Homo-oligomer: A and B are copies of this chain.
């Protein structure tokens, strides 16, 4: 998530506490300073500036610069920082940058990228170009190829290979030495994992515990033995849930044999949660998720993401035309009936959307599962009965006054009660049912629910009408 921070802050209504220190560094001022330094070609001052600028900010300042300028910056950056900056760019931009840099520098930066991000990049670049990049880093290539086998949204796809594991028989002192040696390759040493001679994960302890432990204590005795880990094939949503539940900073990833393959770090998990949430929002809005940021997306790809659902819903909704046509005689008899059609189906849609969004979220975070189906539907019908009664009363009074016809008023009132009952039940049940079929509950979107409730709402309305008014 690399939108300009200033934007991010501006985007939020509540602007309390926005200050230079909050933002860490002023992007605009930084951009000017950077531009100035590049022109003066003052390498020392430039190096200093780059040294103290966080990569995320630097990447943002570089966005506007020419390719030459960018190359100049990458050459001045140490490879570590260069890797961080590169990771914030789009896949295409990363590839272009890598190609334009001197091979040794490109290789150095690639070697510093976190393997999971590198694997995602190569996956996105596709075969010929991926090979071209891998050729630059023969040493790491094998590991990256291994990572590329895992689906992007699996534990394997978001894990990194840099993990510090010590044999269980070491003493704390020797373990610290071991860590010190391994630390340079590892992405995080906040947890030290313990493995047996077979390479199976058997324990975990924090660097803190290790540092604070008596030097001669044995690792096996210091470690927590029932270490929480995740299978390499697990879905990233499951990974995120483990982080939330156990307040983890890193989660070891294992194969069927319990061998330690890598770790997922918490910063990747925050990205996963945001990615999944964005996907849910798109589906709730009745459209395909957008891969790129909204303003970055081409108009045509926005169209492509929306046209499918819109057409499908349109066709489904055209059914309402047939229903109304079927009741043409009733409409001609009491034209006033048609006045309340939008109100009625609108209310049904709103009640349905309320139930649907509530359940989509409840299922998304695992508060509710298929086992609760009966309970959920039961509560929703109770809620709907209460909401429906209130609105029915309002509808009766309003429709009666509006048409000076208590019969129509009664029809509308009863219909409102009935449609709210039906719509809420459908809205609550649909997310659970689609999940039951292995789909994302979020496909049970407000538009879908509304469309379904429109047709049923009309049928109810006219049945009530013929019953009350005999038309």
- How many copies of this chain? 2
**A313 — which chain B residues lie within 8 A by C-beta?**
346-347, 350
Q: Does A99 contact B (CB under 8 A)?
A: no
Q: Which has the most chain B C-beta neighbours within 10 Å: A12, A190, A370, A437?
A: A12
A126 contacts chain B at the CB level, 8 A cutoff: no
User: Does B366 lie within 8 Å of A303, measured CB to CB?
Assistant: no
Q: Are A379 and B302 in contact, CB atoms less than 8 angstroms apart?
A: yes
State A177–B221 Cα separation when bound (angstroms): 24
Smallest beta-carbon distance A292→chain B, Å: 10
Task: Verify B284–A357 contact, CB threshold 8 A.
Answer: yes
Report, as a range, how many residues of chain A touch the other chain.
Answer: 35 or more
Task: Indicate if the CB atoms of B241 and A8 lie closer than 8 Å.
Answer: yes
Contact B350 A281 (CB under 8 A): no
- Chain B contacts of A243 at CB under 8 A? 270
Kindly provide the distance from the CB of A462 to the nearest chain B CB, expressed in whole angstroms: 12
A11 to B226, CA, bound (A): 25
Contact B317 A347 (CB under 8 A): yes
Evaluate contact between A446 and B285: CB separation under 8 angstroms. yes
Q: Are B354 and A286 in contact (CB under 8 A)?
A: yes
State which of B266, B293, B350, B386 has its C-beta within 8 Å of the C-beta of A447: B350
Q: Is A211 an interface residue (CB 8 A)?
A: yes
Q: CB of A42 within 8 A of chain B?
A: no
A47 at the interface (CB under 8 A from B): no
A238 at the interface (CB under 8 A from B): yes
A21/B295 in contact, CB under 8 A: no
Docked complex Cα distance between A295 and B372 (Å): 9
| CB-CB nearest 9 A-B residue pairs | A285-B357, A8-B366, A17-B234, A17-B231, A24-B228, A320-B342, A446-B446, A17-B233, A247-B267
Contact A25/B226 with A351-B310, A450-B349 known, Cβ cut-off 8 Å: yes
Inter-chain CA distance A442–B440, complex, in Å, is 21
**A391 near B286 (CB under 8 angstroms)?**
no
Q: Complex formed: what's the CA distance from A332 to B333 in Å?
A: 10
Contact partner of A342 (CB less than 8 A), chosen from B235, B245, B278, B341, is B341
Cα(A341)–Cα(B198), bound, Å: 70
Bound: A458/B347 CA distance, A: 16
A328-359 interface mask toward B, CB cutoff 8 Å, 1 = contact, 0 = none? 10011001101111110111011101111111
Name the distance in Å between A258's Cβ and chain B's nearest Cβ: 6
List 9 additional contacts besides A12-B435, A295-B362; criterion CB under 8 Å.
A13-B435, A22-B242, A249-B249, A278-B365, A286-B354, A309-B354, A314-B343, A320-B339, A321-B402
Distance of A392 Cα from B52 Cα, bound (Å): 56
Q: Does A72 contact B (CB under 8 A)?
A: no
A242-B208 in contact (CB<8A): no
Q: Which chain B residues border A302 with CB–CB below 8 Å?
A: 379, 383
